[in-house]
Amino acid sequence: MAKVYYDHDADLQFLKGKKIAVLGYGSQGHAQALNLKESGIDVVVGLRKDSSSWEKAESAGLEVRIVPEACAAADIIQVLLPDEIQGRVYAEEIEPYLEEGKALMFSHGFNIHFNQIVPPKNVDVFMVAPKSPGHLVRRMYEEGKGVPALIAVYQDYTGKTRDLALAYAKGIGSTRAGVFETTFKEETETDLFGEQAVLCGGLTELIKAGFDTLVDAGYAPEMAYFECLHEIKLIVDLIYEGGLGMMRYSISNTAEYGDYSRGPRVITEETRKEMKKILSEIQNGEFAREWMLENQANRPAFNAVKKRERELLIEQVGAEIRQMMPWLKKNK
Ligand SMILES: NC(=O)C1=CN([C@@H]2O[C@H](COP(=O)(O)OP(=O)(O)OC[C@H]3O[C@@H](n4cnc5c(N)ncnc54)[C@H](OP(=O)(O)O)[C@@H]3O)[C@@H](O)[C@H]2O)C=CC1
Ligand SMILES: CC[C@](O)(C(C)=O)C(=O)O
Ligand SMILES: [Mg+2]
Ligand SMILES: [Mg+2]
């Protein structure tokens, strides 16, 4: 079992007297910048001049500068920009200000692992990757809790890089929940696999296939929505709290028998073989290359699928059903 680091293993003193530039104010950027600030750390947010988030960050009490100014002022630069633009922004707006002894950091290893960013040897390079969407990073911190995170050291120029990583993880609340040490390679490959095969790609296809099966058989789309999408959260909450066993303890015996006997007919040997293929495309760089080329071509496939998915019946029905559940609106 890997060692897990908690609050008492991390010391915020390693960040005292240092300024952290958080580049980006999106899902992770807003959460990490606000958590760090409330942990007493000196933060500057780096954005484009015309960013729609500029005012939001300022009215949250944060100092905001354009990216080059934020990088020039900072000792530690946390890159929370979309992965696909990090290489370009790094070359034009970050690298010129990356002086000896500064630190460059990430919440995902994509650009370092796939050589889109090659930092100079005389800086620290590390990662603090919350294992959670950014909005939960913020919400859990506000509740006095935290989300688990991974740390990884890629380059240790000053000899203090691990201390910085643990201190940063503490600043965003993650040592309250537990921090695991990994490598850029392991984080990048497992994160991409998880989101493609299980958490995002696998789950959305499973939901859609179940919904379509019921609707095509003549059942009401509302029934299909409740059964194949809405209840996922309730089931996942139980799995999250107590593993597969707790979920199976809570469901009926009939559901449990259906789980054991029918589940393997949905996720078949063929699916497992395809998962291995997806993993090897990540490991050999094929996925990274494809995603970079898609961006260079202005995302024709990405935009077309995005539009088609937004128009699906399950999304229309879901929007109407969620209107009837006012408690869901507060998290929008
Ligand atoms: N989403 C998540 O929960 C997780 C993300 N990560 C990683 O965190 C990193 C950030 O992802 P995420 O938070 O999803 O990103 P988002 O897309 O949510 O936010 C990106 C931010 O970057 C800003 N931005 C975009 N282009 C530029 C530019 N050229 N110059 C300056 N700012 C720019 C955007 O502002 P604007 O467009 O207004 O300029 C926005 O504030 C990625 O490495 C991702 O893999 C890791 C774990 C989970
Ligand atoms: C699951 C998607 C994720 O990897 C995440 C929230 O951790 C991401 O890249 O957004
Ligand atoms: Mg992830
Ligand atoms: Mg990811």
Which one-letter DSSP state was computed for residue 4?
E
Asked, for residue 96, whether it belongs to a domain, the answer is: yes
* Sheet with 19-23, side-by-side order of all strands: 4-5, 179-181, 149-155, 124-130, 103-106, 76-79, 19-23, 42-47, 63-66
The reply to whether 158 and 252 lie within a common domain is: no
Closest ligand relative to 31 C-alpha: 1
Find the domain containing 100 and state its range. 4-182
Asked, for residue 169, whether it belongs to a domain, the answer is: yes
Asked, for residue 279, whether it belongs to a domain, the answer is: no
Asked if pLDDT for residue 321 goes beyond 80, the answer is: yes
The reply to whether 162 and 241 lie within a common domain is: no
The reply to whether 108 and 240 lie within a common domain is: no
What number is the ipTM of this complex?
Answer: 0.99
Asked, for residue 66, whether it belongs to a domain, the answer is: yes
Asked, for residue 21, whether it belongs to a domain, the answer is: yes
Among 182, 209, 235, the domain-final residue is 182
Q: What is the DSSP string of 229-272?
A: IIHHHHHHHHHHHHHHHHHHHHS-HHHHHHHHHHHHHHS-HHHH
In the residue annotation, 108 being an active-site residue is answered as: yes
The reply to whether 9 and 146 lie within a common domain is: yes
Among 137, 152, 182, the domain-final residue is 182
On whether the CB atoms of residues 294 and 301 are closer than 8 A, the answer is: yes
Closest ligand relative to 50 C-alpha: 1
CA dist 78 and 104 (Å) reads: 6
The set of protein residues with a Cβ atom below 6 angstroms from ligand 2 is 133, 191, 195, 199-200
The reply to whether 157 and 15 lie within a common domain is: yes
What residues does 20 pair with on adjacent strands? 43, 76
Q: Coil, strand, or helix at residue 47?
A: strand
The reply to whether 126 and 259 lie within a common domain is: no
The reply to whether 233 and 117 lie within a common domain is: no
Q: What is the pLDDT of residue 330?
A: 60
CA dist 235 and 59 (Å) reads: 38
| CATH assignment at residue 57 | 3.40.50.720
Closest ligand relative to 127 C-alpha: 1
CA dist 298 and 248 (Å) reads: 45
The reply to whether 168 and 108 lie within a common domain is: yes
Q: What is the pLDDT of residue 327?
A: 79
Number of domains in the chain: 2
pLDDT tens, 87-123? 999 999 999 999 999 999 999 999 999 999 999 999 9
Å from CA of 71 to ligand 3 middle: 25
The reply to whether 147 and 207 lie within a common domain is: no
Q: What is the CA radius of gyration of the chain?
A: 22
The reply to whether 213 and 128 lie within a common domain is: no
CA dist 105 and 83 (Å) reads: 13
**Residue 332: pLDDT band with limits 50, 70, 90:** low
pLDDT tens, 279-311? 999 999 999 999 999 999 999 999 999 999 999
Nearest residue to 85 (alpha-carbon basis) of 24, 155, 151 = 24
On whether the CB atoms of residues 82 and 110 are closer than 8 A, the answer is: no
The reply to whether 139 and 217 lie within a common domain is: no
Å from CA of 32 to ligand 2 middle: 15
Å from CA of 314 to ligand 3 middle: 25
Å from CA of 106 to ligand 4 middle: 12
The reply to whether 155 and 220 lie within a common domain is: no
On whether the CB atoms of residues 151 and 79 are closer than 8 A, the answer is: no
Asked, for residue 224, whether it belongs to a domain, the answer is: yes
Selected catalytic residue, list 8, 108, 113, 230: 108
Residues annotated in a binding site for substrate: 252
Whether the CB of 129 sits within 6 Å of ligand 1: yes
Among 182, 210, 239, the domain-final residue is 182
Asked, for residue 238, whether it belongs to a domain, the answer is: yes
CA dist 25 and 294 (Å) reads: 24
Whether the CB of 27 sits within 6 Å of ligand 1: yes
What atom in ligand 2 is closest to the CA of residue 134?
6
- Which strand (E) or helix (H) includes residue 149? strand 149-155
Asked, for residue 154, whether it belongs to a domain, the answer is: yes
Which one-letter DSSP state was computed for residue 312?
S
